[in-house]
C-alpha cells in the first residue's frame, strides 16, 4: 500500500467516537481476560522491576526519568494486545500461539518502529543524565528528597521547566508516530515508514480529539502505576484495546 493510499483513508474523528473507546476496550478485556492479563501483565512487571532496581542501586532520583521513559515504550509493549483486539473484532480463534504468530509475521516492520522508539528512549535518558549533571552535584538523592528539592529550591526552576519541556516534546513525538502506527502494522502489511506517516497525519488531522485522548492515556497509566504498578495489569490492556478501536475508527 502506498503512502498516498494510506493518507486517503484517514477519517475525521468525532467526540462521540472517542467517548466509546474505553468502553469497547473494557468489553474486549472481558471477552479475553486470560490473554489480556498475560500480555498486559508483562508491562507492569517490567516497570516494577526497573523501579526496584533503581531503589536497590540508591538511584531513587532517577525513578521519574525511568517512569517517563517506561511510558514511552507502551505502544511497543501493546503489540500482542492489538492482535488480540484484531482477532476479537473479526471473530477469529484466539490463542497465545496464534497471537505470537501474527506478531512474528510482522516482526521486521514492528522491529523498525521499535527501533525508532528505542532511539527516542535513549535520547531521553541521555538528555536526562546531562541535565542532572548540570544542575546537581554528588550522588543522586532519594526520590523524596529529589522531588522536595526541585519544587522548593528556586535555583532549580530552570531544571524543572527545561525537563518538562523536553519530556513533553519527546512524549508528543512518540504519541504522534506510534498512536496509530503500531496497530496498523498488526492490521496491514505496510512498512514502518508508511505506518508512521499515517499515524502522524491522522493525529494531526484529529489533533483536538487526540490531545484529550493522550491525556486519558496518561491518567489511566498513572492510576495503574499508583499501586506498585499492579493496576496496570488491568488498565494497560484496556487502554491498548481502546487504542485499537481508535485506530479502526480513524482508518475505517
Tens digits of residue pLDDT in 95-128? 999 999 999 999 999 999 989 988 888 888 788 7
Distance between CA atoms of residues 50 and 77, nearest Å: 15
Of the two residues 169 and 2, the one the predictor is more confident about is 169
Which range of residues forms the domain containing residue 193?
Answer: 3-250
**Residue 104's Cα: distance from chain center in Å?**
20
In this structure, of 18-32, 142-156, 175-189, the range with the lowest mean pLDDT score is 142-156
Q: 250 with 12: CB under 8 angstroms? A: no
Q: Could you tell me the end-to-end alpha-carbon distance of the chain, in angstroms, rounded to an integer? A: 15
**pLDDT tens for each residue of 174-190:** 899 999 999 999 999 99
Q: Are 225 and 231 in contact (CB under 8 A)?
A: yes
Cα gap 86→98, rounded to integer Å = 12
Query: How confident is the model over 192-210, as a mean pLDDT?
Result: 94
pLDDT bracket for residue 68 (50, 70, 90): low
| CA quadruple 138, 142, 147, 148: dihedral sign | negative
Q: What is the pTM of this model?
A: 0.82
Percent of the chain with pLDDT over 70: 81
Identify whether the C-beta of residue 84 lies closer than 8 Å to the C-beta of residue 39. yes
Number of domains making up the chain: 1
Per-residue pLDDT tens over the stretch 202-243: 999 999 999 999 999 888 888 877 776 788 889 999 999 999
Alpha helices, DSSP H, located in 15-95: 15-18, 21-31, 33-56, 63-72, 74-77, 79-89
Q: How many CB atoms within 10 Å of residue 202?
A: 28
Amino acid at each position: 500500500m502506498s503512502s498516498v493510499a494510506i493518507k486517503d483513508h484517514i477519517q475525521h474523528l468525532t467526540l462521540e467516537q472517542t467517548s466509546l473507546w474505553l468502553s469497547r476496550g473494557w468489553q474486549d478485556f472481558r471477552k479475553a481476560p486470560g490473554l489480556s492479563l498475560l500480555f498486559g501483565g508483562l508491562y507492569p512487571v517490567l516497570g516494577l522491576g526497573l523501579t526496584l532496581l533503581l531503589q536497590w542501586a540508591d538511584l531513587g532520583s532517577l525513578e521519574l526519568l525511568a517512569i517517563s521513559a517506561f511510558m514511552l515504550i507502551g505502544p511497543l509493549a501493546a503489540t500482542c494486545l492489538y492482535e488480540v483486539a484484531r482477532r476479537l473484532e473479526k471473530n477469529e480463534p484466539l490463542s497465545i500461539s496464534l497471537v505470537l504468530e501474527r506478531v512474528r509475521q510482522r516482526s521486521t516492520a514492528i522491529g523498525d518502529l521499535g527501533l525508532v522508539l528505542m532511539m527516542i528512549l535513549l535520547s531521553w535518558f541521555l538528555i536526562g543524565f546531562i541535565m542532572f549533571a548540570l544542575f546537581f552535584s554528588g550522588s543522586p538523592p532519594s526520590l523524596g528528597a529529589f522531588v522536595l528539592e526541585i519544587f522548593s529550591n528556586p535555583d532549580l526552576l530552570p531544571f524543572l521547566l527545561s525537563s518538562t519541556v523536553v519530556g513533553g516534546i519527546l512524549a508528543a513525538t512518540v504519541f504522534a508516530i506510534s498512536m496509530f502506527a503500531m496497530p496498523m502494522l498488526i492490521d496491514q502489511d505496510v512498512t514502518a515508514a508508511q505506518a508512521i506517516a499515517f499515524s502522524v497525519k491522522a493525529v494531526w488531522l484529529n489533533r483536538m480529539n487526540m490531545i484529550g485522548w493522550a491525556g486519558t492515556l496518561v491518567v489511566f497509566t498513572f492510576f495503574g502505576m499508583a499501586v506498585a504498578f499492579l493496576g496496570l495489569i488491568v488498565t494497560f490492556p484496556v487502554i491498548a484495546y481502546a487504542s485499537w478501536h481508535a485506530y479502526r475508527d480513524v482508518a475505517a
